Amino acid sequence: MDHAIAFQDYEASALAAIAAAKSAAEIEEVRIEFLGKKKGRLKDLQAVVGQVSADLRPAVGKLFNEVRDKVTAALEAQQALLRKPKKSLTAIDISLPGQPVLLGKRHPLAQTMEDFKDIIGRFGFIVADGPEIEDEYHNFKALNIPEDHPARDPLENFYLATASYAAGGPVTPRLLRSQTSTVQIRVMEKQQPPIRIVSLGRVYRPDTIDATHSCMFHQMEGLMVGEHVTMAQLKTVLRLFATTYLGQDVTIRFRPSFFPFTEPSVEVDMSWGKDWLEIGGAGMIDPNVLRAVGYDPEKVSGFAFGLGIERFCMRRHQIRDIRRFYENDLRFLSQF
């Protein structure tokens, strides 16, 4: 046979057989038939090359190699195509249960703070912020707490070893704020009455830890300053706030008390079953504090309160131990 026709015939039938192969087994059969090393159509073609005259053999040999490479490449491409898993609609079983998406939740205290802002916002109080690292002026002095007051004792507070202190430089003592009352001062320094703000956040005290005490806890500070602000208004705001958050069955009790920055001062308790639990301190702002921020106590008056956020949340959800909030136990946290 003329070698050119033999090559054409081999190539055409090999490419057609490759394209027609629809499975791994079929393409293997085609490979054996057209590219098999021992016998098959490639061997026959090689024999054709052997028959041509010696002067034509180099050119025909080259042609042989080209045709063989072309068929090999086509075969490999088809093999790869058949190996790929076919996408099929029947592969998805829509009746199988899906992968559950685990949604996070806000911490119960964060939820309580949102509720607090929402409720107190209805009384016209807007939210102010203050730093957790404070100086002695805002944590004590401006709040009328004298230098020798036991509340300023280093053992009653978390003082920070500041860089200047460590370097032996001038000491500006700083501490983690022990109460949110610091924000009262920061707001009054910047704003003129009328003022109606709350500030919520962490406070720190080296208290002995038990079921109702932690060394880090949260307070909501409230401050209202203006003309003719009265104690009656303070008591009404606190009663309404507590019953809105805790329900009508809670009783709020005011006990005379003392805070250096309020006069008169009260401590506020809530009923919990047969017991009472202290939830905050409050009072009418001491004239000394008003003067410290440049207000005239003859013209304006004000009240302030500081509430323990954990204790409200505890009563609402019947949580008997404050430590549950900080243990990061999902069995506890996922209930809220």
250 contacts 315 by C-beta, under 8 angstroms:
yes
Nearest approach in angstroms of CB 306 to ligand FA5 is 3
Q: Which residues contact 182 (CB under 8 A, 6 or more apart)?
A: 130, 131, 134, 138, 139, 143
Of 108, 201, 302, 308, which one interacts with ligand FA5 (CB under 6 A)? 308
- 283 is a site residue for ligand FA5 (CB under 6 A): yes
The residue with its CB nearest to ligand FA5 is 308
- 306 is a site residue for ligand FA5 (CB under 6 A): yes
Choices 26-34, 123-131, 257-265, 289-297 (CB under 6 A): range interacting with ligand FA5: 257-265
Count of Cβ atoms closer than 10 Å to residue 39 Cβ: 10
Q: Per the structure block, which two tokens stand in for 123?
A: 């009384």
Count of Cβ atoms closer than 10 Å to residue 293 Cβ: 18
Q: Per the structure block, which two tokens stand in for 328?
A: 């990061």
Of 262, 286, 289, 301, which one interacts with ligand FA5 (CB under 6 A)? 262
Choices 64-72, 120-128, 237-245, 273-281 (CB under 6 A): range interacting with ligand FA5: 273-281
Nearest approach in angstroms of CB 209 to ligand FA5 is 8
Separation CA 58–CA 56 (nearest Å): 6
- Nearest Cα to Cα of residue 203 among 308, 280, 289, 126: 308
Of 116, 241, 259, 325, which one interacts with ligand FA5 (CB under 6 A)? 259
Separation CA 219–CA 221 (nearest Å): 6
Choices 68-76, 79-87, 118-126, 278-286 (CB under 6 A): range interacting with ligand FA5: 278-286
Of 116, 125, 140, 217, which one interacts with ligand FA5 (CB under 6 A)? 217
Nearest approach in angstroms of CB 166 to ligand FA5 is 29
Nearest approach in angstroms of CB 302 to ligand FA5 is 10
- 219 is a site residue for ligand FA5 (CB under 6 A): yes
Helix (H) or strand (E) holding 49: helix 41-51
Choices 56-64, 126-134, 214-222, 323-331 (CB under 6 A): range interacting with ligand FA5: 214-222
262, β-bridge pairs? 259, 285
Choices 86-94, 157-165, 166-174, 279-287 (CB under 6 A): range interacting with ligand FA5: 279-287
- 310 is a site residue for ligand FA5 (CB under 6 A): yes
User: What are the Cα distances from residue 271, in Å, to 90, 253, 254, 257?
Assistant: 63, 8, 11, 18
- 214 is a site residue for ligand FA5 (CB under 6 A): yes
Choices 56-64, 162-170, 239-247, 302-310 (CB under 6 A): range interacting with ligand FA5: 302-310
Which amino acid makes up residue 65? N
Q: Please spell the DSSP secondary structure of 56-99, one letter per residue.
A: THHHHHHHHHHHHHHHHHHHHHHHHHHHSPPP-GGG--TTS--P
Residue count of the chain, please give it.
336
Within 187-206, the residues that bind ligand FA5 by CB under 6 A are 205
How many residues touch ligand FA5 under the rule CB under 6 A: the total is: 23
Q: What are phi and psi of 35, to 5 degrees?
A: -125, 5
Count of Cβ atoms closer than 10 Å to residue 315 Cβ: 20
Of 33, 156, 207, 263, which one interacts with ligand FA5 (CB under 6 A)? 207
Residues near ligand FA5, by CB under 6 A: 179, 181, 205, 207, 213-214, 217, 219, 259, 262, 265, 278-283, 304-306, 308, 310-311
